[in-house]
Amino acid sequence: MNDLILQTEGLTKRYGRRLVVDRLSLTVQQGDIFGFLGQNGAGKSTVLRMALGLVRPTSGRALLFGHDMSRHSLRVLGHVGALVEAPAFYGNFSGFDNLRILAAMSGGANRKRIEETLALVDLLPRAADPVSTYSHGMRQRLGIAQALLPNPQFIILDEPTDGLDPQGIREVRLLLPRLRDELGLTILLCSHLLSEVERVCNRVANIDGGRLLYQGTTGNLIGQDKMVRMTVDPLEEAYQLLIADPTLSVSRNGSQSLYVKMPDARIPHVNATLVEHGIRVTELAVERATLEEVFLTLTTTM
């Protein structure tokens, strides 16, 4: 099968006059753990619904395994698992029985397959307990198990860690690379949390107001520029001097330091400029920029 798992081409959705997704072109490749980022209301879930053929695009198209989802969704949906909203389970039934019931609705699954799937998400020891006794994190993992049950090649997880405590978030974060490696899965992880995406995803797309701000590898994005912390005196003069340079992204942090995002090669030049203007540079430290910092500068300069 094709290396392109999901491709959207100029994907657009309007609800009434409201433009919710604006000419979005995304590419998810085989083996990706693809992070789909954006604040609440950015349009992420709408994109996923179009990708699953649940919502019809106003224009453009979503291709899943090369098939246009507004026309051939049934042909490919068997290869996709999805957790699109917080999953609903029967609290008085066990995790095992819940999966059995859900599987029965789509052709059934045998005991072995259900147990295998529960083992993948580390729920086998609790398989016989009623879901009402599960933590929120365990329910989310049961939701992921449900998505995995038909043995898909691709899973779409919409905010799988929403509302989870740090421990629950950590469990999901550890689970995803394991699923990719053990099952050869491709994963689309939708989240409004940069910190989550940055840690597990090899590629990311960031949207805002339905428009693509960035798409590319996580490593490249972080590696593009360095975040340099400069302790300078006087700070205000240094700040005014550097923000006047449109090629730099400068922010103030506390009263002591400036944070300047720039390519390696610019660092000596910036340092020299400050010194020429009689500013004392007492400390200059290169810090690895997090995705969050990179996106903050991206969104505020666009």
Ligand X SMILES: Nc1ncnc2c1ncn2[C@@H]1O[C@H](COP(=O)(O)OP(=O)(O)O)[C@@H](O)[C@H]1O
Q: What is the contact surface with Mg ion in residues (CB under 5 A)? A: 44-45
Q: Which is nearer to ligand X, 13 or 261 (CB)?
A: 13
Count of residues engaged in binding ligand X, rule: CB under 6 A: 10
* 174 vs 193: CA distance, rounded Å: 16
Q: What 8-state DSSP symbol labels residue 54? A: S
* 229 vs 118: CA distance, rounded Å: 47
Stretch of residues binding ligand X (CB under 6 A), selected from 44-52, 162-170, 178-186, 286-294: 44-52
Q: Which is nearer to Mg ion, 45 or 218 (CB)?
A: 45
Which of 23, 48, 50, 49 has its CA nearest to residue 37? Answer: 48
State CA 120 to chain mean position distance. Answer: 21
Q: Which is nearer to Mg ion, 13 or 44 (CB)?
A: 44
Q: Which does 197 bind (CB under 5 to 8 A by kind): ligand X, Mg ion, none?
A: none
Q: Which does 186 bind (CB under 5 to 8 A by kind): Mg ion, ligand X, none?
A: none
The token pair at 190 is 């939708």
Q: Which is nearer to Mg ion, 53 or 95 (CB)?
A: 53
Instruction: Locate all alpha helices (DSSP H) within the chain, ordered by sequence.
Output: 44-51, 73-77, 95-105, 111-120, 136-148, 166-183, 194-200, 218-224, 235-243, 267-276, 291-301
Query: What mask of x and - would describe binding to ligand X in positions 46 to 75, judged by CB under 6 A?
Result: x-----------------------------
Binding to ligand X (CB under 6 A) within 10-39 occurs at 15, 20, 38
For ligand X, the binding residues (CB under 6 A) are 15, 20, 38, 40-46
